[in-house]
Structure 1
Amino acid sequence: MTSEAITVLGLGNLGRAVAEAFLRGGQVTTVWNRSAAKAAGLDGAVVAGTPGEAAGAGELVVVAVLDNRAVREVLRGVDVRGRALVNLTSGTPDEARELAAWAAENGAEYLHGAVYAVPQTIGTDESAINYSGAGAVYERWRKVLELLGKATFVGDDAGRASGFDVAILAGMYGLIGGFLHAAALARAGGIGVGELTPMLLSWLVDLHPALVTFAGEIDGSDYAGGESSLAMNQSGLAMLIRAAEAQGVPFAGLDAVKALVDRQVAAGHGTESLARAVESLGSQRLAG
Structure 2
Amino acid sequence: MTHPISDYPSVASGASAPSLSFLGLGGMGTAFARAWLAAGCSLTVWNRTAGKADALVAEGAVAVRSPAAAVAANTLVVTCLLDDASVGQTLEGTDLAGKDLVDLTTGTPAEARARGAWAEARGARFLSGGIMAVPPMVGVPEAGGYVLLSGSRGLFETHEATLGVPLVPEFAGVDAGHAALQDIALLSGMYGTLAGVTHALALVRDEKEINLRDFTPRLVNWVMSMASAIEQISDQVASGHYPTGDVAPLSMQSAGVSTFLTTARDQGVSPELLTPYFALMKRRVEQGHGDEGPAGLVELLTPRPTAP
Distance in 2 separating the partners of 1:227 and 1:162: 35
The answer for the alignment partner of 1:3 in structure 2 is 17
Structure 1 residues 94, 29: CA separation in 2 closer, same or farther (over 3 Å shift)?
same
Deviations 1:79-133 (A, max 9, x none): 1111111011111111111110110111111101111122122122123111111
Give CA-to-partner distance per residue, 1:186-216, whole Å, 9 cap, x none.
1143323222210011111111222211111
Residue 193 of structure 1 aligns with which residue? Answer: 212
Corresponding position: 1:103 with 2:122 = no
**Distance apart, 1:237 and its partner CA:** 2.8
Taking the TM superposition and a 5 Å limit, the aligned residue runs for 1:247-266 are: 247-266=267-286
The 3-state SS of whatever aligns with 2:205 is helix
Per-residue deviation, 1:19: 1.2
Q: Which residue of 2 aligns with 1:120?
A: 136
Q: Distance in 2 between matches of 1:91 and 1:236?
A: 39
- How far apart are residue 251 of structure 1 and its match? 2.3
- Post-superposition Cα deviations, 1:15-62, rounded to whole Å, max 9, x if no partner, equal 111111111121111000011100111121110100111111011111
Matching of residue 222 in structure 1 with residue 241 in structure 2: yes
1:246 aligns with one of 266, 277, 287 = 266
Write the distance in 2 (CA, Å) between the matches of 1:268 and 1:251.
26
Q: Flag structure 2 segments of 5+ consecutive residues without an equivalent.
A: 1-10
Q: Name the residue aligned to 2:3.
A: none
Amino acid at match of 1:198: P
Structure 1 contact 135–156 (Cα < 8 Å) conserved: yes
Q: How far is the alpha carbon of 1:238 from its aligned partner? A: 2.9
C-alpha displacement at 1:14, in angstroms?
A: 0.9
SS at match of 2:81: coil
Conserved 8 A contact 1:237-1:254: no
For the pair 1:76 / 2:92, whether they are aligned, the reply is yes
CA displacement at 1:227 relative to structure 2: 2.2
**TM-score of the superposition, structure 2-length normalised?**
0.89
8 Å Cα contact 1:260/1:278 also seen in 2: no
TM-score, length of structure 1 as denominator length: 0.95
1:132-178 CA deviation, whole Å, 9 max, x = no partner?
Answer: 11000000000111111211111100111111110111111111121
Could you tell me how far apart the structure 2 residues matched to 1:96 and 1:6 are?
A: 21
Which residue of 1 is the match for residue 171 of structure 2?
153
Contact 1:233 1:274 in 2 (8 A): no
Letter in structure 2 aligned against 1:142: E
Which runs of no fewer than 5 residues in structure 1 stay unpaired?
Answer: none
Q: What amino acid maps onto 2:76 in structure 1?
A: L
Compare 116-125 and 260-269 and name the one that shifted more: 116-125
- The correspondence of residues 45-60 of structure 1 with structure 2, limited to 5 A, is 45-60=61-76
Q: Name the SS of the counterpart of 1:271 in structure 2.
A: coil
For the 8 Å contact 1:238–1:258, the answer to whether it is kept is no
What is the CA distance between 1:234 and its match in structure 2? 0.8
Aligned mates of 2:106, 2:279 — CA distance in 1 = 30
In 2, Cα distance between equivalents of 1:134 and 1:143: 15
Provide the C-alpha distance between the structure 2 equivalents of 1:7 and 1:145, rounded to a whole number of angstroms. Answer: 12
Name 1:85's counterpart in structure 2.
101
C-alpha spacing 1:58/1:237, structure 2 compared with 1 (3 Å)? farther
